[in-house]
Amino acid sequence: MWDKPSINRLPGERLHLRHGPITIVLKVWAAPDVVRQAHRLVTRHFPKILPGLGEELAALRKPVATSAKFDSAVAQRMADAALPFADVYVTPMAAVAGAVAEEVLRIIMAAGPIEKAFVNDGGDIAFHLEPGQSLKFGVAGDFSEGATPVINGTIVLAAEQGLGGIATSGAHGRSFSLGIADSVTVLARTAAVADVAATLIANAVNVDSKAVTRKAASKLDPDTDLGDLLVTTKVGTLSPNEIGAALDAGVKQADAYLAKGLIAGAVLMLRGNTRTIGAPLAALGNAG
């Protein structure tokens, strides 16, 4: 079903992992022998992740339920991350990239004492920080100048914030979106939860407009977990009022998740306008 997994070294002691739809870049900061052991463990265990998910794919594409039990640890992590958001339509697939990143990070952490590490699965990132450590992340989600996103700024996350995941979703991403956001980036305690929240907040950045073209997800991909829900295929010229209304709707959803303690912060972008919630991302905002 899938090509054989590939694992390659990149400059800066990074690893590049590929298997089917999974594309990961990771880095570990530790003593040289620990880094080598982390790379050995990843090489040994990474090829098992996708086949394990494939065996339970049919169930993972169904709306999440409290009774969901899976054999794969990654699949169970996906279901557990999606469950707190089940007041709207959501399947465990909303957490897949974040959950895979978490699993690879878990493998890495078994290598020995590690100062810090990140696993970036297509923009959904799991990371670990020992006390006193920090990581800087770039946020690129503004498509107002063309097909390639503009880097809007950077955020520095420290161990003391107690976070472990950052994820981005939107109408320009790899997966279908019900909304029109250029991007929504979310910070949370885990990458899987951040992944689900980013997906659902991006869905909420929406407005009823003739400029937005939608199509049933099943018509675009018969295997989608979204069934006949309408997903965004094109966004034309929007009025300032439409942009504002769409962002307001997304902020309302993000605020609800923040109030429940599900996320720590979010930045929402649409046509050059940015809204932020939560202290970690406040520096990126322009109150658009």
Residuewise pLDDT in 10s, the chain (288 residues): 568 899 999 999 999 999 999 999 999 999 999 999 999 999 999 999 999 999 999 999 999 987 779 999 999 999 999 999 999 999 999 999 999 999 999 999 999 999 999 999 999 999 999 999 999 988 876 666 666 666 777 888 999 999 999 999 988 877 899 999 999 999 999 999 999 999 999 999 999 999 889 899 999 999 888 889 889 899 999 999 999 999 999 999 999 999 999 999 999 999 989 999 986 665 554 433
* Predicted local confidence at residue 287, as pLDDT: 37
C-alpha radius of gyration, the chain, whole number? 19
Q: Is residue 81 part of a domain?
A: yes
* Predicted local confidence at residue 285, as pLDDT: 44
* Predicted local confidence at residue 187, as pLDDT: 96
Three-state secondary structure string covering the chain:
CCCCCEEEEECCCEEEEEECCEEEEEEEECCHHHHHHHHHHHHHHHHHHHHHHHCCHHHHCCCCCCCCCCCCHHHHHHHHHHHHHCCCCCCHHHHHHHHHHHHHHHHHHCCCCCCEEEEEECCEEEEEECCCCEEEEEEEEECCCCCCCEEEEEEEEEHHHCCCEEEEECCCCCCCCCCCCCEEEEEECCHHHHHHHHHHHHHHCCCCCCCEEEEEHHHHCCCCCCCCCEEEEEECCCCHHHHHHHHHHHHHHHHHHHHCCCCCEEEEEECCEEEEECHHHHHHCCCC
| Phi and psi, residue 80, nearest 5° | -65, -35
Q: Is residue 288 part of a domain?
A: no
User: Buried (b) or exposed (e) across 120-132, using 16+ Cβ within 10 A?
Assistant: bbbbbbbbbbeee
The total number of structural domains in the chain stands at 1
Residue 144, CB-side half-sphere exposure with 13 Å CA sphere: 11
| H or E element that contains 140 | strand 134-142
**Sign of CA pseudo-dihedral 18, 19, 24, 25:** negative
Q: Is residue 147 part of a domain?
A: yes
Q: Is residue 172 part of a domain?
A: yes
Q: What is the pTM of this model?
A: 0.92
Structural domain harbouring 187: 6-283
Task: Kindly compute the dihedral angle of the four CA atoms of residues 117, 155, 88, 179, in this order, to the nearest 10 degrees.
Answer: -120
Q: Is residue 207 part of a domain?
A: yes
Q: Is residue 1 part of a domain?
A: no
Q: Is residue 124 part of a domain?
A: yes
Quickly count: other Cβ atoms within 10 Å of residue 76's Cβ: 16
* Predicted local confidence at residue 188, as pLDDT: 96
Q: What is the C-alpha end-to-end distance of the chain, expressed in Å?
A: 45
Largest CA distance in the chain: 58
CATH number where 177 lies: 3.10.520.10
* Predicted local confidence at residue 227, as pLDDT: 87
Q: Is residue 140 part of a domain?
A: yes
